[in-house]
A and B are shown apart, each in its own frame.
Chain A
Amino acid sequence: MRSKTSFLSAAVLAAALSTTCSAQTIFPLTRADILAGALFDFKVEFDGVVDPAQVKVSINGVDYTKTLGKTADLVAKEDGKEVSSLILRDASIRKPGTYVVTATDGKSTSSVTWTVYGTPAKKAAKNVILFIGDGFSIGHRTAMRILSKGIEGGKYTSKLAIDEMPNMALLTTQGTDSIITDSANAAHAYTTGHKSCVNALGVYCSRAANSLDHPKVETITSLAKRHGMAVGAVTNSEIEDATPAAMVAHTRRRSDYNDIVDMFYQSKIDVMMGGGSPNFLPKSTPGSKRKDDVDYIERFKQADYRLATTKTEMLAAANDPKTTKLLGLYNTGNVDGALDLKFLKKGSVAQFPDQPDVPESMNAALKVLSRNKNGFVLMVESARIDKYSHSLDAERAIYDAIMLDNAVKQAKQWAKAHGDNTLILVTADHSHAVSVVGTVDDNKPGPDMRNKIGTYNEAGFPNYPAPDADGYPNKVDVSRRLRVLFGSYPDHYDTFAPHLEGEFVPAIRNAAGVMVANDAYKDAPGAELRVGNLPNIGSGAANNGVHTGDDVVLTAMGPGAQKVHGQMENTDLFRVMAEALALSPQKLATASKASDQ
């Protein structure tokens, strides 16, 4: 514990710095936690063109080159503008401890503090499986439990696989620019241990003009590969989408899909599965979204990846003991969600009838990755919980939450059967404002649907059929169904019922540029107009629900899971993985304590 005196002097110093030192921005930003030995780009942005002779950058009072081992480039006019920057790519710090970085241009001075931490010398876990339910919130969790598990005597008859884990924490998800994250900087926090800003992957958000020029930080994929491990990313979104991309990408702009495909290729990630094939096809192939004629399907094949475009091909590839690298692309867009894939056959199921679901893809990935005797890191995402929550399509979101639980259940079984040395983490990247408020009962009297809503004791229990072995009721359009509400929404018609015809499209921009309710639903029986509570004009106009800043739940089991407890930053999840895998082994037993200063 610090003495009162030293606390006060630090406060005085901080106050002094904050009044005189706003000129430079130093990356990584202050309060960064950096894994010892992990690579990062060091950048100092000056607010004008500087005199190189006046520039001094020190770390813990000594010239920065002593700590970082290399000399940075001083760019006189960054991107042709009247500002100078000092840039050093691929820096790292080997020794754990506290590092105070100070930069001056002779006129003003800025300072940041980093904490560099090591890990135990020996790995506790051989493997890590990180599950991300995109946008997966408490409301989804409760709804899926009601649909998947029976209630007797007021108690659930059994637990969800995601709940039956010994460790739990609340993760905070805010970033460097905002209290609200998107899936890019949220997943980036898990895969790099650094905070960043909305839309950014594997980089800090600097003033660089080019989205690929921002200060990079090393990903868990790169670190694990450096330790001889196998790495995989499994999703049912497009593989270039933010969450899977965070495993490999370094870009300020998550929509750089063509660059992200190349980043996957360069990363040498062993298994990658999802949708989003058009960015792999040369532009001369009809259906391509590339701007060049590079055939990434062919490049991956030449790098010894097995290609699977259907579930049948995936199973054949995974079952072949020679397969150690697998590229699975099952849809041009997102892979269909569980409700469409298994029951309604809407979405793109007619076009792509042989798509795997997330648990099937995960099992194929486990087969392939476990062929590496050094262990693996696997990220498994149920991506469309988020997408369906954006579109206020509660049933589809809930079914994809059940799909996540199935994957976790099977991963737990796999881990138990394979040495019990796998750390399993289950979390969300951010939340939605989603809540179970009761039920809707078609058999209640009267014409108005809102008066068929049951709250408190009148909610009772819904009458979904008993779930199948995977926890899915085979019918969602039952007469007494869950009333799940989203707290943020655009204008839309509330139909009080599941959208059997296909994913809900709540709002559309009208001729005057205003986001209005999609009148395709206007005449649905009982439909009521909900006037939105989000912006409906300008660049911030919302055509769907938005992310919220609520904390997300992390549950964990296996070696290393004991570090999961209480309230944690989302970046702390990276550290839990790094420590379990001993990604920065320190000889001294006190190594990991260095970061607790």
Chain B
Amino acid sequence: MFCPSRLSGELSRRTFLSSMLVLAAPLVDAADATHADNLLSFDTLYKSVGVLGTVYSDQAKALKNKDVRMRGYMAPPLKPESKFFVLTREPVAVCPFCASDAQWPSDIVVVYLREALAPINLSRRIEVAGTLEMGSWTDPQTGFVSQVRIVDATVHK
């Protein structure tokens, strides 16, 4: 049996959910002055993401090997002792069988930290500052492959 749908109660939910993204934006401390003009985002990192490869944006290419800052979510570390973590566009629900790079989104950024990081809330957006590296790199310890990295990085909550 199918009845005409009723809209009551749905618009408010939809409005809420679209506003939720804005509300979810965390408070970010003022970034280092040296990084102030070099804010990259997951939207501005690439000109295009395609099946046959990604194309970096002109801004990203111009910032290669320079200091940048970037906001995203820290994915659960692959190993507690890892010196690096994966920065993602959205909080990631990690596949329980994927202890490798196999099933990560293709637009991740790998962050190599300057020093060990105190535990942080993975559901809060963070800002990472460091030097932008581009090009394939296989982590010698874990075998994790990355195309974009921020190295010598610090994390701002």
Contact = CB atoms under 8 A, between A and B. Distances in A.
B55 A255 contact: no
A112 interface: no
Interface size class of A (residues with CB under 8 A): 35 or more
Contacts of B101: 289
A508 B91 contact: yes
B99 A255 contact: yes
A368 B136 CA distance: 36
Given A285-B53, A463-B2, 8 more contacts: A461-B2, A478-B6, A479-B8, A500-B17, A502-B90, A524-B20, A525-B13, A543-B94
Interface in A120-176: 150-152
Shortest 10 CB-CB contacts between residues of A and residues of B:
A442-B9, A287-B54, A283-B136, A511-B119, A463-B3, A332-B106, A255-B102, A479-B6, A478-B5, A309-B51
A1 interface: no
Contacts, number: 176
B137 to A, nearest CB: 9
A391 B5 CA distance: 26
B134 interface: yes
> What's the interface size class on B, roughly?
35 or more
Interface of B: 1-10, 12-14, 16-18, 20-21, 23-24, 49-56, 76, 80, 90-94, 96-103, 105-106, 118-123, 134-136, 138, 143, 145, 147
B97 A182 contact: yes
A42 interface: no
A331 B123 contact: no
A76 B115 CA distance: 45
A56 interface: no
Nearest to A508: B123
A385 interface: no
Contacts of A152: 1
B93 A465 contact: no
Contacts of A542: 96
Contacts of B99: 255
A523 interface: yes
A479 B9 contact: yes
A457 B106 CA distance: 48
A472 interface: no
Contacts of B17: 500-501, 524
A439 B7 CA distance: 16
A27 interface: no
A555 interface: no
Contacts of B121: 510-511
Contact of B51 (A182, A256, A330, A506): A330
B119 to A, nearest CB: 4
Interface in A205-223: none
Nearest to A507: B93
Given A332-B49, A443-B8, A479-B9, A509 B122 contact: yes
A291 interface: yes
Interface string A64-80: 00000000000000000
Contacts of B14: 477, 500
Contact of A442 (B8, B49, B120): B8
B123 A287 contact: no
Nearest to A542: B96
Nearest to B134: A286
10 contacts: A279-B102, A288-B53, A291-B145, A443-B8, A467-B2, A479-B10, A518-B91, A524-B17, A543-B96, A544-B93
Contacts of B100: 255, 257
A495 to B, nearest CB: 8
Contacts of A240: 102
